[in-house]
Structure 1
Amino acid sequence: MDSPEGIISVEEGSFSPKTVPGRSDLSGLYLLGRTLGRGHFAVVKLARHVNTGQLVAVKIINKTKLDIMATSHLLQEVRCMRRVQHPNVVRLYEVIDTPSTLYLVMELAEGGDLYDYIQRHDRGVAEGTAKRHFAQIVRAVSYCHQLHVVHRDLKPENVVFFPQQGAVKLTDFGFSNWFQPGTMLATSCGSLAYSAPEILLGEEYDAPAVDIWSLGVILYMLVCGVPPFHETNDSETLVMILDCRYRVPDHVSVHCRQ
């Protein structure tokens, strides 16, 4: 990180280091609340800024449990989120780096994620609503690609709602990376049901293309209510993806099918 034991804050879309010697936690900065989520190396908690009262989400990463690969993904996530400043991307406010813990202070999504939203709609979301949500996701991904940032883990769980802003926003850049147009990438990453065939085959791939494939899967889920490629076991799901074998439910309109 830029400052091994300091605070890096975002102001006007850029980062300016502010060193706080001996900082070991969030005391005096944020009051931590309930747990919002939990992963292998991190926990996400609700927090309130002590001075302003602003509610935020704080991702708390135990650095002592990170291996080389996890550390690489974490650093890449921070670098990409630092660069990507867009109305449809969750904003990273501060990075607080201490000897044992890394705190990522982020914009709080009050409305849950797109996966849970889809699960509440058995036959998919109304097509007009799906169009509005999907357009915002596409704008975020397009912006990332313009900056030569590929997400590589696009899925409904990584799209979150901000009801007060009337927005959905992209989050979780843990598998993101930089790319140069015309240069292929080779790292296999992402989630099976949303991964492009070339990634699953272990081939080199065009960075924007794999995000676009995942966008197609998200759109299908929005209007159909279920994933396009889903079987009882991973090997059967893999075959469906490689064969690009799926069907569109009868309730989907002719206009949407086109």
Structure 2
Amino acid sequence: MAGIKRGYDGKIAGLYDLDKTLGRGHFAVVKLARHVFTGEKVAVKVIDKTKLDTVATGHLFQEVRCMKLVQHPNIVRLYEVIDTQTKLYLILELGDGGDMFDYIMKHEEGLNEELAKKYFAQIVHAISYCHRLHVVHRDLKPENVVFFEKQGLVKLTDFGFSNKFQPGKKLTTSCGSLAYSAPEILLGDEYDAPAVGKCVCNSG
């Protein structure tokens, strides 16, 4: 289980040497880093807590709770959380092959069917596992599927919109990426969490 360590800003540099930026969002930046003692490369999601409103703060803590809960070969692992006065650092497993969106864009003639089935099955296994733990991702899209080429795997990442659900009870929060949202979410209706997750997965 990932632990939460508290310290002062800059403490991250004592544990991890930060390198280039891998991605950027509204409140966070993802950086490549290396553990100073083991040399292991990781991805570090750096969240600026000073820019978060109440809703965003709730999403952040929900993301950490859900990622601590899910432990699966096809889900990017959260190693630890480092909490400082102004920033939260999520230390994540690092993929070595980019994300699925970039992969699709590089193959203009499409993917080999057998390979596509293999990757799709892995994504479905990850989603099914989450739903068994009553966790819904709510932002399924190619950009959130990362390649681990040495392992021959794809893994689901970015649980920023994830949430826990109770079977039989519907959710109401409108969230996720507009282009990949299920009709219920676009219409502002209540929705069944697992059904929406499957709908989004099959929409691509």
Q: How does the TM-score come out when normalised to structure 1?
A: 0.76
**Structure 1 residues 55-70: aligned runs within 5 Å:** 55-70=41-56
2:33 corresponding residue in structure 1: 47
SS at match of 1:76: helix
2:16 is the alignment partner of 1:30:
yes
Answer with 129-138 or 65-74: which moved more.
Answer: 65-74
CA distance in 2, matches of 1:191, 1:150: 14
2:86 is the alignment partner of 1:113:
no
2:123 is the alignment partner of 1:137:
yes
Q: Percent identity?
A: 68
SS at match of 2:13: coil
**Structure 1 residues 83-162: aligned runs within 5 Å:** 83-162=69-148
* Aligned counterpart for 1:77 among listed residues 63, 68, 74: 63
Over alpha carbons, which structure has the higher Rg?
Answer: 1
Deviation, structure 1 residue 69: 1.3
CA distance in 1, matches of 2:122, 2:19: 30
Deviation, structure 1 residue 197: 0.9
CA distance in 1, matches of 2:49, 2:5: 21
Answer with 23-32 or 130-139: which moved more.
Answer: 23-32
Query: How many residue pairs are counted as aligned between the two chains?
Result: 204
Deviation, structure 1 residue 122: 1.9
**1:42 and 1:23, CA in 2 relative to 1: closer, same or farther beyond 3 A?**
closer
Instruction: Describe the superposition over 1:32-60 as per-residue Cα deviations: whole angstroms up to 9, x where unpaired.
Output: 11111111111111100000000000011
2:187 is the alignment partner of 1:209:
no
Answer with 182-191 or 120-129: which moved more.
Answer: 120-129
Structure 1's unaligned 5+ residue stretches are 1-13, 219-258
1:178 corresponding residue in structure 2: 164
Instruction: Describe the superposition over 1:177-227 as per-residue Cα deviations: whole angstroms up to 9, x where unpaired.
Output: 000111111111112221111111111110001110111123xxxxxxxxx
What is the root-mean-square deviation of aligned Cα atoms in Å? 1.3
Task: Report if the CA contact (8 A) 2:4-2:83 is conserved.
Answer: no
CA distance in 1, matches of 2:36, 2:160: 28
**1:93 and 1:64, CA in 2 relative to 1: closer, same or farther beyond 3 A?**
same
Runs of 4+ with >4 A deviation: 16-20
Instruction: Describe the superposition over 1:112-156 as per-residue Cα deviations: whole angstroms up to 9, x where unpaired.
Output: 000111111223212111100000000000000000000010000
Q: How does the TM-score come out when normalised to structure 2?
A: 0.96
Which one scores higher on RCO, CA 8 angstroms, separation ≥ 6? 2
Structure 2's unaligned 5+ residue stretches are none
